[in-house]
Structure 1
Amino acid sequence: MKYWAILGSLLCVSLGSNALAAKHEPRYMLEKVVELSRHGVRPPTEKEAEEIASGTNRNWPEWVTPLGELTGHGYAASLLKARYEGEYYRKTGLLKSGCGLSKDVYIWSSPVERSKATALAYVDGMFPACNIPIHYSDMDSDYLFHFNKLVPPNSAPDQAKAEIEQILGSNLATARQRMQPEIARLRAAVCIAGKSCPIFDTPWQIKTKDKGGISVTGLESLASIGQVLLLEYSENKPLSEVAFGKAPDAATIGALLSLQTLRYDVGNDRLSAARQGGSVLLNQIRMALELGTGSASSTGRQAIAGPPDVAYLLYVAHDTNIAFIRRLLSFTWQVGEYPRGNIPPSSSLVFERWQDRVTKKRFIRLYFQTQTLDQTRSLTPLDQRHPLLTAEFKKPDCQKTKVGTLCPFDGMIAQMNQAIDYSTVAIAAHPVK
């Protein structure tokens, strides 16, 4: 009798311990992450540098790094962001400590050097001394990130003009007049009073590029100026050089980026441009999120090679790629000192797949994240007291939880399927492996 009493007591203790462990086990489990990041801080490209120098009739600050390439400061800022993310993924249990990660991690970069260098910063920040390989294709076969540079647009200039005017709510001349306060603010920051500054006098016109793409001359040039000012501040250039001494803080830089926002609206954020330029990439993201669920949709998968089944999949590319994806998913944001929809260096879109341990249902948490301008400028180490800026995707069927805003998995996959132009995917049929 005494034996059975002791055994019963031990069983109660054991069962009680298991129940207690289950009670304290987090309800939601992070299963997979797909991240799409912009490259880090760079100098202006050669084209940007020539255009703004001639258009403003003055010499702009010089950069030590070759034009268009990732700077050392940009590498360091990207590394800090990656280190912060790596700590988060280990805390959630998605990634293990140490370097046994070959089956857990895959990194795919745009073939452009600044993207490959940023991917290396992610490796060094997230997986120091682990020698994680970085994968990429040749530029002439990179349909994933540069589809619009390889395939002529499927919309005529007249269609693009109608789409742009619908977005603006007017023609380009009227929109330019409406933006005069923002144009004047930017002019005051970069032009010499009383001297010619012809870049501000260029009419806004829709122009067909050599390969058939669409640009809005005049607006794109002014947007490039704002971009360069953001890069100067982010690089920690002396404030006497940033906007020629007329941008003493992050708030001032943010106020000079309105024309860049408008360029996003009528450029990469146009639905026709996004469907052509972003469908191949969004299809890869969709397939990656479905892997391991046992219920992958079949739409558009025929003859299309998919990504590897890993816990953490990182794509490193350009702001244009993020703009395409966010437009296809009807997602925008405004964070910190940045204007609506801005995509700063090293910022990223993150797709997290979570599972409810109780109901076994799966969810997707989608959010945008970036360092503040001053975090990038000062190379601020990131932690709980100094976190990244984030903006979460939300819609009526999503729910707020302790791990963030979770949206039903099937609904998000259906939304992606509806947004993707599968005729474009078929044209590319580009394997990512």
Structure 2
Amino acid sequence: MKTSLYASLLLAGLLSPPAIAQTASSDGYVLDKVVQVSRHGVRPPTESNEKLLTRVTQRQWPTWLVPLGNLTGHGYAGAVEMGRYRGQVLRTAGLIPKGCPDARQLLVHASPLQRTKATAQALLDGMFPGCGFQPTYVAGEQDALFQANEMPFAALDPAKAKAQILKALGGSVEAAQERYNPFEEKLREVACLPAADCPYGKQPWVLEENAKGRFSIKGLSAGANMGEVFRLEYSQGLPLDKVAFGNARTPAEVSSLMVLTKAKYDFLNDIPYIASRGASELMNQISLELKQGTTFASKDPQGTPPDVPLMLLVAHDTNISYLRTMLGFGWKLGDYLENNIPPVGTLQFERYKEVKTGDYFLRIAFEAQSMDQIRNLTRLDGTETPLKGDFASAKDCRKTSVGLLCPLKEALVKVDQNIDPTALTPYSFQ
């Protein structure tokens, strides 16, 4: 893992982070800590998805200029802009200084895939241009924060997982496929040439368990991946006659082809038990970071992250969907379908302190560029801002100039409520 000298000293306890001048909002709140979890930027389909879609549609799909699954140049530029905007917001709030901050004020850690590492670098380049900061990441392809759902310590009880999946399906896979048949037919019309022997949509859905104890729905996967690829084509800026083979010329039309993408998440990711097993490790580190510097802080025998003003974690939509489910947080942003997680979509945990009382509050929000903002690489500013939705994590939340703020003590109950202590493993950012 790459780690700066300052970060190493801080983690070793030899140095303390320098103080940053804090700026109170007009109604008296100071932002003093942010943890954000961002999805990677625009990429082509992965190699396995490309092979699947080519096979089921018997059709050539658009050619991308980077290896399958990797962040594109357009995706990098979109992430830089999101980073620039977030940096501007955090500087205005006084969380980070102008120019290049001390490296000890940051923890930027990415999932170890190319698209996440490159997105983390893009966000850093946007937030801190010319500062030369680099993200950290583990060696190899698995990090317990981001790939817990593929690792033994977070293994599923197959019977329990299957029962919850079947409940979400409405009792049976067959009944669910029947409900979604009109959407399969629509995708078939879009992706299959009339005269071709196109197998898409003819396969019965089958709930399968893989060797690692994780579940998928064979038959649904192709349609789910297809909708995501159409969105990526539009976001990448491909000519409109290439997006969904010329059948999606607006964000709303793209989203209409993503109903099966959402269904896959509804049936496999947004399942409380599966989400808790897959993201307890990540949620636990977020919780520990949010408690640092308050009376709720504690040392965790599994490992406690360094106390920094800004923790930026770059992950995958699967990670964010698990966290969303654990929180019970839902959103509907612009033309996206409900709970959609666009490229560089970010789940934000912002801790504020009320100046007059010294009480702490937490804002939990999801923020993402619109489909057209990503496609057009729109500059984000005071008039052209990302889409966002706030989460009421407690009963006594209050609307403020900085968003919906909830008492930290009660909000942390919501953050911690679905952390499964049996799905945790020792972790260190060193």
Decide: shared fold, TM above 0.5.
Answer: yes
Following superposition, the deviation at residue 160 of structure 1 comes to: 2.4
Instruction: Please tell me whether the aligned partners of residues 207 and 218 of structure 2 are also in contact (alpha carbons under 8 angstroms).
Output: yes
CA contact (8 A) 2:27 2:401 kept: no
> 2:399 is matched by which residue type in structure 1?
K
Q: How does 1:27-66 map to 2 (within 5 A)?
A: 27-66=28-67
- Superposed CA deviations along residues 65-88 of structure 1, whole A, max 9, x for unmatched, are 110000000000000111011111
- Whether contact under 8 Å (2:188, 2:200) holds in the other structure is no
Q: Secondary structure at the match of 1:144?
A: coil
Q: Provide the aligned length of Structure 1 versus Structure 2.
A: 407
- Percent of pairs with identical residues: 40
Residue equivalent to 2:236 = 235
CA distance change for structure 1 residues 319 and 24 in 2, over 3 Å: closer, same or farther? closer
Whole-Å separation in 2 of the counterparts to 1:258 and 1:376: 21
In the other structure, the counterpart of 1:184 is 185
**Which deviates the most, 146-155 or 362-371?**
146-155
5+ long unaligned stretches in structure 2? 1-22
Q: How does 1:195-274 map to 2 (within 5 A)?
A: 195-274=196-275
Q: Which amino acid in structure 2 is aligned with residue 101 of structure 1? A: D
User: Between Structure 1 and Structure 2, whose CA radius of gyration is higher?
Assistant: 1
- Name the CA distance, whole Å, in 1 between partners of 2:141 and 2:134: 21
1:325-348 per-position Cα deviation (integer Å, ceiling 9, x unaligned): 111101111101110111111111
Answer yes or no: is the 8 Å Cα contact 1:152–1:213 preserved in 2: no
TM alignment of 1:120-199, pairs within 5 A? 120-139=121-140, 142-151=143-152, 154-199=155-200
Paired residue for 1:12? none
What is the aligned partner in structure 2 of residue 5 from structure 1? Answer: none
Distance 2:154 2:88 in 1: 42
In structure 1, the residue matched to 2:353 is: 355
Deviation at residue 153 of structure 1 after TM alignment = 5.7
SS in 1 for 2:417: helix
In structure 1, the residue corresponding to 2:264 is in which secondary structure?
A: helix
Shift of 1:194: 3.9
Any conservation in 1 of the 2:27–2:400 contact (CA below 8 Å)? Answer: no
Contact 1:368 1:390 in 2 (8 A): yes
Aligned-partner Cα distance in 1 for 2:188–2:405? 44
- Consecutive unaligned residues of structure 1, counting only runs of 5 or more, are 1-21
Q: CA RMSD in A?
A: 1.7
What are the residue-to-residue correspondences of 1:301-312 with 2, within 5 Å? 301-312=299-310
Decide whether the 8 Å contact of 1:153 with 1:213 is kept in 2.
no
Normalising to structure 1: TM-score of the pair? Answer: 0.91
Could you say if the C-alpha distance between residues 170 and 128 of structure 1 is closer, same or farther in structure 2, counting changes exceeding 3 Å?
same
Corresponding position of 1:112: 113
State the shift of 1:140 in Å. Answer: 5.6
User: Which has the larger share of helix?
Assistant: 1
Q: Counterpart of 1:430? A: 427
Deviations 1:310-369 (A, max 9, x none): 111100010011011111101111101110111111111000000111111111100001
What CA distance in whole angstroms lies between the structure 2 residues aligned with 1:189 and 1:158? Answer: 37
Shift of 1:432: 2.0
2:269 counterpart SS class = coil
Q: Pick from 359, 367, 370: which aligns with 2:368? A: 370
CA distance, structure 2, for counterparts of residue 201 and residue 405 of structure 1: 47
Matched residue SS, 1:139: coil
Aligned counterparts, 1:247-326, within 5 A: 247-296=248-297, 298=298, 301-326=299-324
CA distance in 2, matches of 1:90, 1:154: 41
After TM superposition, give the deviation of residue 29 of structure 1 in Å.
0.4
State the shift of 1:138 in Å. Answer: 2.4
- Tell me, yes or no, if the aligned pair for 1:75 and 1:121 is still in contact at 8 Å: yes
Call closer, same or farther: CA 1:176–1:25 in 2, change over 3 Å: closer
Counterpart amino acid of residue 33 in structure 2: K
Q: Which amino acid aligns with 1:366?
A: I
1:78 to 2:76 alignment: no
> TM-score w.r.t. structure 2 length?
0.91
